[in-house]
Chain A
Amino acid sequence: MEFGEWISIGYLISACLFILGLKKLGHPRTAPSGNKLGSMGMLVAVLTTVTDMYLEGGAEWTLIISGILVGSTIGYIMAVKVEMTGMPELVALFNGFGGAASALVALSESWKYIENPELSLPTGLGLEVLMIAAGLSALVGWMTLTGSILAMYKLKGGVEIFGKWFRTPTWGPSYLNYIKILLIGLVIVLIYLSISDPRNEDILYSIIAVSSILGIILVLPIGGADMPVVVSLLNSLSGIAAAFTGFIIGNSVLIVAGSLVGASGLILTFIMCKAMNRTLPDVLFKSFGGSEKVSLTRTKVGSDAEEVAMMVDGAQKVIIVPGYGMAVSQCQHQVKEFADLLQDRFDTEVKYAIHPVAGRMPGHMNVLLAEANIPYDQLIDMEDINSEFPECDMAVVIGANDTCNPAARTGEGPLAGMPIIDADKARTVVIIKRSLSVGYAGVDNDLFYEDKTMMLFGDGKKMMNELNAAIKEL
């Protein structure tokens, strides 16, 4: 056995590092080291590959080195520059790139035989494995790319103006489900055809086109609140795409790492579904948002900051309920100032109620509030804090809507069954929001119109600043 044949041991080490990394990422204390182990696994995999190429008679470095440099630089800059609000969109975009990379490797392998007619194709089993793996990798990879990019825009939708979101479709006609099945069937037929005609470019293009369309119609009808689940599912798919690519080039680490991500991503998807009291088939095949926007017939007179400041004075216990509006207006520092003022001036107990899907990603609020140095023990998960609302003097809802919409308890409509934060059980409720407009799910919120509710209409940052100034003047 020559030295070069031992090179696969590097892939084994790399696979072990990925396994340890994923395992550790699931626990709060070990998560940072899990991430480092994962990145080390990747480094080992790349070094192993490069060493292998070097030992196998030298490598052509131009494309390899420049590709690594360009990709790393772009990725690093994007990761460092992104605002915490934009994190979910960035994860979705990276995911799309991962899927596309797998699909491109598959395309590159198939193209070798098209551009070089003298290159002899594998025969029999080898050919079948090559074409099936390349076809499946293309199907999953291109679908992940278009689906993730659409998911990114759907996550972004409504960022500029809340009202604008509702123009983005959050539902689709149910016949789209049949089209999905039809298109998957079509790709399978195309893959079958490609086995008997491996050098046919048209089949290749058709697979790419159909898979791309499939990704779009898969994500298109899915409603806003389900978007994190879809991104997680696409993440799982990009892993599967990498595993199929592993079959094409006969590489063990691709198969192991890809299927690990595929399976653990699927489990994470189920966990996220469970947190929202939904099932995956419901998310995928029954659109979440209402088929038509509820037209608002009621109105509510807004309050002003001074009025709220007077109500806050004397409150024993205040629970802050942050939502996506807080992320958009970047007012987490003002929120922290507000909490500090209450604690210092009125000796008020302040807590934060975190809904599992507040924001656009699970954990979104935790990250933002942590950025403002809010102590960890004040952030309470929904299940644990809901019992505290009845003895809470004031709930301050900042840019949240669906996550505290009592309509979810009625068992009807798009929000039915979703667990919510019981902000309506507090003695008074202050809601900071730009308008009375409906939330992501497209359902009017009764909480806005209750007598004990005070609405502060405006941008989160502006209203929090006004509120803080008013408290200081008391």
Chain B
Amino acid sequence: MTPELLIGSVTLFVLSIFLGFELITKVPSMLHTPLMSGANAISGISVVGALYGANVAFEGGSTSLSGLLAFLAIVLAMINVIGGFAVTNRMLNMIAGKNKKKED
């Protein structure tokens, strides 16, 4: 890693943290759980890292251990991603159903 790349990455990191602080301001309590669950699904982004790691040949029993670890990481990250978005969607649909009732 070159110093330029490192400084670029650290810049991204710090600016994203500031952005994250600003994104969420006042959230009604009924949205706390869906927001947590949706943000949680986004943290499954580590699947991208896992995909690169699992890009190794599968050779039955002699597959490299690092490849298998990355495979396991894909599985866990995808559970986090798909499960997280699906469960958030379920919660929000119920809340949306309520809002529709209100408009009737």
Give the residue name and chain of the B residue nearest to A267 (CB). Answer: B24
Bits for A38-56, please: 1 = Cβ < 8 Å to B, else 0.
1101100110011001000
User: Contact between A26 and B51 (Cβ–Cβ < 8 Å)?
Assistant: no
A332 to chain B, nearest CB (A): 11
A95 to chain B, nearest CB (A): 5
Residue in B23, B46, B82, B91 whose CB lies within 8 Å of A105: B46
Bits for A17-54, please: 1 = Cβ < 8 Å to B, else 0.
01101110111110110111011011001100110010
User: Contact between A255 and B82 (Cβ–Cβ < 8 Å)?
Assistant: no
Complex CA distance for A241 and B76, rounded to whole angstroms: 14
Bits for B44-80, please: 1 = Cβ < 8 Å to A, else 0.
1111111111111110000111111111111111111
A346 to chain B, nearest CB (A): 23
Complex CA distance for A243 and B44, rounded to whole angstroms: 11
Residues of B contacting A206 in the complex (Cβ-Cβ under 8 angstroms): none
User: Contact between B49 and A94 (Cβ–Cβ < 8 Å)?
Assistant: no
A235 within 8 A of B: yes
User: Contact between B49 and A249 (Cβ–Cβ < 8 Å)?
Assistant: yes
A114 to chain B, nearest CB (A): 8
A291 to chain B, nearest CB (A): 29
A138 to chain B, nearest CB (A): 12
Residues of A contacting B89 in the complex (Cβ-Cβ under 8 angstroms): 32, 35-36
User: Contact between B86 and A80 (Cβ–Cβ < 8 Å)?
Assistant: yes
Residues of B contacting A363 in the complex (Cβ-Cβ under 8 angstroms): 29-34, 91
User: Contact between B12 and A35 (Cβ–Cβ < 8 Å)?
Assistant: no
* B: number of interface residues (CB 8 Å): 89
A247 within 8 A of B: yes
Q: Which residues of chain A from 237 to 270 have a CB within 8 Å of any chain B CB?
A: 238-239, 241-243, 245-268
B77 to chain A, nearest CB (A): 4
User: Contact between B16 and A34 (Cβ–Cβ < 8 Å)?
Assistant: no
Residue in B9, B35, B94 whose CB lies within 8 Å of A268: B35
Provided the pairs A102-B46, A271-B27 are in contact, do residues A255 and B12 lie with their beta carbons within 8 angstroms? yes
Residues of B contacting A370 in the complex (Cβ-Cβ under 8 angstroms): 94-95, 97-98
Complex CA distance for A101 and B41, rounded to whole angstroms: 12
Complex CA distance for A125 and B3, rounded to whole angstroms: 7
Residues of A contacting B48 in the complex (Cβ-Cβ under 8 angstroms): 45-46, 49, 251, 253-254
Complex CA distance for A191 and B77, rounded to whole angstroms: 25
User: Contact between B43 and A242 (Cβ–Cβ < 8 Å)?
Assistant: yes
A49 to chain B, nearest CB (A): 5
Residue in B12, B66, B87 whose CB lies within 8 Å of A256: B12
A53 to chain B, nearest CB (A): 5
A88 within 8 A of B: yes
Bits for A72-106, please: 1 = Cβ < 8 Å to B, else 0.
10111011101000011011001101111110110
A100 to chain B, nearest CB (A): 5
Residues of A contacting B41 in the complex (Cβ-Cβ under 8 angstroms): 38-39, 42, 94
User: Contact between A381 and B29 (Cβ–Cβ < 8 Å)?
Assistant: yes
Residues of B contacting A362 in the complex (Cβ-Cβ under 8 angstroms): 29-30, 32-33
User: Contact between A264 and B39 (Cβ–Cβ < 8 Å)?
Assistant: yes
Residues of B contacting A299 in the complex (Cβ-Cβ under 8 angstroms): none
Residues of B contacting A232 in the complex (Cβ-Cβ under 8 angstroms): 32, 36
Stretch at the interface among A63-71, A180-188, A396-404: A63-71
User: Contact between A267 and B20 (Cβ–Cβ < 8 Å)?
Assistant: yes
User: Contact between B67 and A108 (Cβ–Cβ < 8 Å)?
Assistant: yes
User: Contact between A251 and B12 (Cβ–Cβ < 8 Å)?
Assistant: no
Q: Which residues of chain B from 7 to 42 have a CB within 8 Å of any chain A CB?
A: 9, 12-13, 16-21, 23-42
Complex CA distance for A268 and B77, rounded to whole angstroms: 22
Name which of A23, A91, A231 has the most chain B CB atoms within 10 A of its CB: A91
Provided the pairs A34-B38, A101-B77, A261-B42 are in contact, do residues A64 and B55 lie with their beta carbons within 8 angstroms? yes
User: Contact between A263 and B56 (Cβ–Cβ < 8 Å)?
Assistant: no
Provided the pairs A94-B84, A370-B94 are in contact, do residues A23 and B23 lie with their beta carbons within 8 angstroms? yes
What are 16 contact pairs spanning A and B, CB under 8 A? A26-B23, A62-B58, A67-B54, A94-B80, A98-B40, A105-B53, A105-B73, A108-B66, A130-B1, A246-B49, A251-B48, A255-B12, A259-B13, A267-B21, A363-B30, A371-B94
Beyond A38-B85, A87-B91, A245-B46, 7 additional pairs, beta carbon < 8 A: A42-B42, A53-B52, A64-B51, A79-B83, A97-B80, A268-B32, A367-B33
A interface list, Cβ under 8 A from B: 18-19, 21-23, 25-29, 31-32, 34-36, 38-39, 41-42, 45-46, 49-50, 53, 59-60, 62-64, 66-68, 70-72, 74-76, 78-80, 82, 87-88, 90-91, 94-95, 97-102, 104-105, 107-109, 111-112, 115-116, 122, 125-126, 129-130, 228, 231-232, 235, 238-239, 241-243, 245-268, 271-272, 275, 354, 356, 361-364, 366-367, 370-371, 373-377, 379, 381
